[in-house]
Amino acid sequence: MVLVDKQILRMTAAAIGLMVSSHAQTFVQPAPATVDSSTASVAPVEAVQLSAKGSFQSDHVAVGDTLIYRLLVEWKDERLPVVVLAPENMETPGFKIADQSTAHRKTVENGEVRNTTEFTYKLVPKVPGAAKVSALKLRYLTGFSNREEALYVPASFIDVEPAHVPLWKRWWFQLIAGIVILAGLIWGGRRALQTAKTNQQKSQATKNRDFSPDVKALRGRWNTADSRVWLEDAEKVCLEYLRHQLGKSAPENPKFELLLEAYLARHSGETGEWSKLREAFHHARYAGGRKEPYELQDTYRTLKTCLHIQGDNE
């Protein structure tokens, strides 16, 4: 009887324990609470739309010229940091990169702020023919996380012309220049020959100057002119003759005595006749006496002899 009662008590205690355990589990694991979607936080969006375009500054270029290639990257300002990285391993078949630079600017148009990054390359064509800037991958970092993204820029093509030939190297210019130079040489040669001939004629005329008209102008005047004036005119003719004969070696002093001494140093055989003239001219200058016509006539004959004038028999 006592054993039966103990078993009943144990069963009752086990049932009570199960009820308490089940109640404890329901309390520890409450139902999940509902969340108000209006107060939930949203992760920031970091996507930025970029556009890129590469183009040449000119449609024509020749070997040796400088051609500008511009890579223009634009995007709307979203107040998120954007860093555009310079292209790596830029391929330019047919070109040599002479210089490059980068510039960044902000512009406002219709109330919209836009960012622009410009890469500028100075290219020098190496050979004529087709040349290009190959398609390239442009990398950029966006957002606060510096997430790397990329966009692709299509290739740009251009035809390179042969190097410019300087004007003076072109065959037609050389031909025209040769004709002009040849014509100038012919004209210059003819003019030089003509000038030389004229100078020779003048020199010959000067060398063979005929003083007979100057001397003959004195003929007959001995009867009418004053003897002193006649002798002075005769002395002037002698001075011109002596200067002509002496040429560049004539003394700077134009006095008759000095010119006569220089002349007689070369023509000593004519001293006697010239001495007569010198005495006559000296008499006219210093003595001042009148000469008779026959005396002037004798002086005229002596003058013709000294100046080697033939004919004209008075």
pLDDT at position 59 is: 86
| 68 strand-pairing partners | 122
The closest of 295, 289, 262 to 276, measured between CA atoms, is 295
pLDDT at position 197 is: 80
pLDDT at position 117 is: 92
Per-residue pLDDT, averaged over 127-140, amounts to 88
Q: Which residue has the higher pLDDT, 23 or 135?
A: 135
Q: Where are the beta strands (DSSP E) in 134-227?
A: 136-142, 147-153, 156-161
Mean pLDDT rounded to a whole number for the chain:
78
Q: What does the pLDDT look like over 272-294, one tens digit per residue? A: 888 888 888 887 777 766 788 88
Radius of gyration of the chain (CA): 62
Per-residue pLDDT, averaged over 297-308, amounts to 85
| 112 strand-pairing partners | 109
| pLDDT exceeds 50 at position 205 | yes
Q: At 114, which helix (H) or strand (E)?
A: strand 112-125
Here the tokens at position 237 are 């003719």
| pLDDT exceeds 80 at position 271 | yes
Distance between CA atoms of residues 48 and 225, nearest Å: 125
| 50-161 CATH pick, 1.20.120.420, 3.90.120.10, 2.60.40.680, 1.10.490.10 | 2.60.40.680
**How far is residue 236 CA from its own chain's centroid?**
64
The SS3 of residue 20 is helix
Distance between CA atoms of residues 243 and 232, nearest Å: 17
Q: What does the pLDDT look like over 160-184, one tens digit per residue? A: 988 877 777 788 888 898 999 999 9
Residue 291 has a CB neighbour count (10 Å cut-off) of 20
pLDDT at position 15 is: 42
| pLDDT exceeds 80 at position 5 | no
Q: How confident is the model at residue 26 (pLDDT cuts 50, 70, 90)?
A: very low
Whole-number percent of the chain with pLDDT over 90: 12
Q: What does the pLDDT look like over 134-155, one tens digit per residue? A: 998 888 888 777 888 888 899 9
Burial 127-140 (b: 16+ CB within 10 A, else e): eeeebebeebebeb
Amino acid making up residue 149: E
Per-residue pLDDT, averaged over 230-239, amounts to 86
The closest of 234, 237, 236, 305 to 267, measured between CA atoms, is 305
Residue 278 has a CB neighbour count (10 Å cut-off) of 17
pLDDT at position 71 is: 92
The backbone torsions φ and ψ at residue 7, rounded to the nearest 5 degrees and listed phi first, read -65, -40
pLDDT at position 12 is: 44
Q: Which residue has the higher pLDDT, 47 or 62?
A: 62
The SS3 of residue 266 is coil
Q: How confident is the model at residue 46 (pLDDT cuts 50, 70, 90)?
A: low
Q: How confident is the model at residue 34 (pLDDT cuts 50, 70, 90)?
A: very low
Please state the domain extents for the chain.
50-161, 167-197, 212-306
DSSP structure class, residue 285: I
Q: Give the pTM.
A: 0.43
